[in-house]
Structure 1
Amino acid sequence: MEISTSRFGAVEIEADDILLFPSGLVGFEECRHWVILADSENEAVAWLQCITHPGVAAPVISPRRFLHDYQVRLTRSELSPLQLSSIDQAYVLAIVSREEHRFAVNLKAPIIVNLDGRLGRQVITSDDQPMQFELTHTAPPLRKSA
């Protein structure tokens, strides 16, 4: 199937690529169907693209790629909508923001995905994670595409 995007134009995806976010994302609650698109200019970044709203997409990274000890602490009630049989099945993403030449990642509200079940959810953690964790020069580089 083909979807329209404001960043990548028309993109061909498989129906099996679609992730259902029953509650949407924070600020985009009406966007429930998403797909993860690779960024051809930067392998560290992917784009979480809403398939029903072409202009809605967010650059995402795996926070563990930059912070090896990053852990998400979730309650059973936060995990249960994802229908995970094990926490090891969870794929964790974080939204990246850019201001001038500075990149930051939101560790307070990670996106948890059950890739096998094609279900996703953004959670707001109760632990002491920053909403804007600046990615420094010691992290693998992010280029301007994010």
Structure 2
Amino acid sequence: MEVVTSRFGKLHVAPSDLVHFPQRILGLRTCRQWCLLADANSPVLGWLQSVENPEVALGVVSPRRFEPDYALRVARRDLADLELDNLQDAQVSVIVSRHVEGLAINLSAPIVINVEARRGCQVIAKDAWPVRKLLPQTSPSWRRTA
């Protein structure tokens, strides 16, 4: 499949690289099929690129990079669509957003992906993690891409 994106240009996405989000990501009703991309300028930052809406790409990072004690607890029913036996087998990422104060991550509503089954969902953490945790000053190239 070929996707022409506003951020990355033309992408060739194999069907095996797609990640299906049955319940969608909050605020993105039309986007169920995504692909994960590495950032060429930063080993820390990744991208979740919609293949249905090429204008939509979400910067994502590991929450533990900025919150070493981050532990995700969610209701088991929230993971039902992932076909996941154990949360430890999942890839957990958080969305990066840009604000006047700088870049922030949402620790309260992470993205959980069953890499083997290629299924993902956004969940609400049971614990009281911040919706907007400002990140420390980052490199100029990282701020530019996010």
- The amino acid that maps onto 2:40 is S
Shift of 1:99: 2.3
Aligned counterparts of 1:128 and 1:115: Cα–Cα separation in 2: 26
- How many residues of Structure 1 are paired with residues of Structure 2 in the alignment? 144
Shift of 1:100: 4.2
The answer for the alignment partner of 1:18 in structure 2 is: 18
Aligned counterparts of 1:13 and 1:101: Cα–Cα separation in 2: 35
SS at match of 1:43: strand
Alpha-carbon deviations, 1:33-58, whole Å to 9, x = none? 00011110111111111101110111
Q: Is the 8 A contact 2:103 2:143 kept in 1?
A: no
Pairwise mapping of residues 88-99 of structure 1 onto structure 2 (< 5 A)? 88-99=88-99
The alignment status of 1:63 with 2:63, answered yes or no, reads: yes
Aligned counterparts of 2:40 and 2:32: Cα–Cα separation in 1: 25
Shift of 1:126: 3.0
Q: Is the 8 A contact 1:63 1:92 kept in 2?
A: yes
Shift of 1:30: 1.9
CA RMSD of aligned residues (A): 1.5
- The amino acid that maps onto 2:62 is S
Percent of counterpart pairs with the same letter? 41
Q: Is the 8 A contact 2:74 2:124 kept in 1?
A: no
Structure 2 stretches lacking a partner, 5+ long = none
Pairwise mapping of residues 64-103 of structure 1 onto structure 2 (< 5 A)? 64-100=64-100, 102-103=102-103
Aligned counterparts of 2:89 and 2:47: Cα–Cα separation in 1: 20
Shift of 1:17: 0.6
Structure 1 stretches lacking a partner, 5+ long = none
The answer for the alignment partner of 1:27 in structure 2 is: 27
The answer for the alignment partner of 1:145 in structure 2 is: 145
Aligned counterparts of 2:29 and 2:38: Cα–Cα separation in 1: 23
Normalising by structure 2, we get a TM-score of 0.92
Normalising by structure 1, we get a TM-score of 0.92
- The amino acid that maps onto 1:40 is A
